[in-house]
Amino acid sequence: MLRISVSALVIASVLATPTAASATAPPPRVPEVTGWGGAVSSVDPDASQIGVDVLRRGGNAVDAAVATAAALGVTDPFSAGIGGGGFLVHHDARTGRVSTLDGRETAPASATETLFVENGATIPFDQVVTSGLSVGVPGTPMTWQRALDRWGTLSLRQAIAPAEQLARRGVTVDATFAQQVTGNAARFADFPASRALFLPDGRPPVPGSRFRNPDLADTYRELGRRGVNALYRGDVGRDVVRTVRTPPVDPAATRVVRPGDLTTADLAAYTAPEREPSRTSYRGLDVYGVAPPSSGGTTVGEALNVLESADVARLDQTQYLHRFLEASRLSFADRNRWVGDPAFADVPVRELLSQRFADSRACLISAERALPGVVAPGDPRRPAPCAAGGAAAPTPYEGEHTTHLTTADRWGNVVAYTLTIEQEGGSGIVVPGRGFLLNNELTDFSFTPVTPGVPDPNLPGPGKRPRSSMAPTIVLDRGAAVLAVGSPGGASIITTVLQVLTGVLDRDLSLAEAVAAPRASQRNAANTQAEAAFLTAPQAEALRSLGHTFTSTAELGAATGVHRQRDGRWTAVAEPTRRGGGAARVVHPTS
């Protein structure tokens, strides 16, 4: 990608000055908009506005993605920020190449398979969540730097300058922000730095009030001036290590907060490698995602391959949903058995994504009856028709409060980027004086083997990356990006992305309709999670008659995406209501 020095400086100078509109009122939430010049979609209107302003002033999709992500660290600090990590997928319109960056957090070099075992017993999950023990090396700053170096036109300082200004200026607290503080109030209150930032008057902020984060603004400024080495080899990193190793707990707190063993050497050793994407063909299109250590690309890809054997477009709604749920169940069984960090496990990516293996699994699906409960995995290296072997591997819990953003530019470049600090509020620990929460991503490891006696590729290890379900996805038609989508939601990310893709590619839904549709999530469990609107739809009772059983959940995911129209315009789409609704933007709206 050609670098443009003069115009980049112009962009930076303009972005550093907030507009009058942004200084007086929050931008509106708009779930769908179509137009020219590029598109941005995220969960937050301030962040999406910053991203589209980058595009409007000449930046590309990567520049906009980093700027939007940095802004989400201000407006959605409970789901994203420089204390976490994620996966970025990039499509280069000039070359047609799809690439991915692995910004997943890593365990300390001292970590072993018994990281979460103490005195012979597994440490309770809630105690691991709020601790230094669950904090991995953050990958987000390195991801931003690598993406900008590889494909961007702005420097890191230029890209994060608008977010720095936003943190100083402040954002208007909405109902979702207030609820997230309320949900974490007990944890935040036990850490003076967290309490000072989110509970300054001893209680959560009220909707309509102003939230400012000058410490984060200063941290962004330091990252901009000194680069990411400020974290990986500098003062910011030393503050992170000190916080992890000696969690700053209020002396009056009764909470048990275990220290972690993160070191400055762990930070200095961190890399965000560029990896080959996962790829599968579906209905004549090429579907790209992220390969291990995320399970998103292989699990979405396998499920699509399972569905490839059926003419899903011609099925009635009940049979479509039945096959969607069964394909999800089977692909999760295989994911849980085979996917982990490829540096530590021999992950059969090519075999998991082979049509031969998918066909051997698809023949287990009956049109008349749902598969019973938790099913056993197949063997992708030795696929046999309708065969499954070994013990079933259920899906462990993963934190659901991630965030996803999607960008596209006027040249046709596209970015799908999912980032997280894991649990809502991460570890609950703000780094004193730095203004950001630390992740608790190491809880994505298996605490003990999921299935006793069966090798588990997702146990902790030194420098190891925990398995993820993040599934940023880009779809190409004859080398051109036509669709990109992703979602938060822990393990339900995979089923959300799969449902949106099949809605658009098989069921003739617009992207907005597919994103808004009621959702269900089958993850190789006895019961399928489903939203209330799904459970009240006519097909729910028909699915029950096939043997599906459901449990109700408030929401599944919060997708964002972009869709290229036949005339070249971009449609940006965000959630209309989930998580308070998202914000879609295009540079030059036409509808």
**Residues designated as active site:** 402
Reported as type and span, the H/E element at residue 59 is none
What are the distances in angstroms from CA 477 to CA 82, 399, 508, 529, 582?
Answer: 34, 33, 16, 32, 27
Question: Is residue 290 within 8 Å of 322, Cβ to Cβ?
Answer: no
3-state secondary structure of 18: coil
Q: Which long-range contacts (CB under 8 A, 24 or more apart) does 108-111 make?
A: 108/137, 108/260, 108/261, 108/262, 108/263, 108/266, 108/462, 108/463, 109/263, 109/265, 109/266, 109/269, 109/462, 109/463, 110/261, 110/263, 110/462, 111/261, 111/442, 111/460, 111/461, 111/462, 111/463, 111/464
3-state secondary structure of 562: strand
Amino acid at 186: A
Cβ within 8 Å of residue 202, ≥6 positions away: none
Vertex 208, ends 205 and 209: CA angle to 5°?
50
d(Cα 57, Cα 65) in Å, to the nearest integer?
Answer: 14
- For 352-398, give the DSSP string: HT-HHHHHHHHTT--SS-PPPSSPPP--TTS--TT---S---PPPP-
Question: Is residue 409 within 8 Å of 392, Cβ to Cβ?
Answer: no
What are the distances in angstroms from CA 382 to CA 190, 348, 456?
Answer: 52, 11, 19
Reported as type and span, the H/E element at residue 512 is helix 511-516
Reported as type and span, the H/E element at residue 465 is none
Helices assigned H by DSSP within 288-354: 296-308, 317-338, 349-352
Q: What crossing angle do the helices spanning 45-56 and 61-75 adopt, rounded to 10°?
A: 150
Paired strand residues for 101: 88, 274
d(Cα 524, Cα 326) in Å, to the nearest integer?
Answer: 9
d(Cα 559, Cα 452) in Å, to the nearest integer?
Answer: 35
3-state secondary structure of 468: strand
Paired strand residues for 520: 530
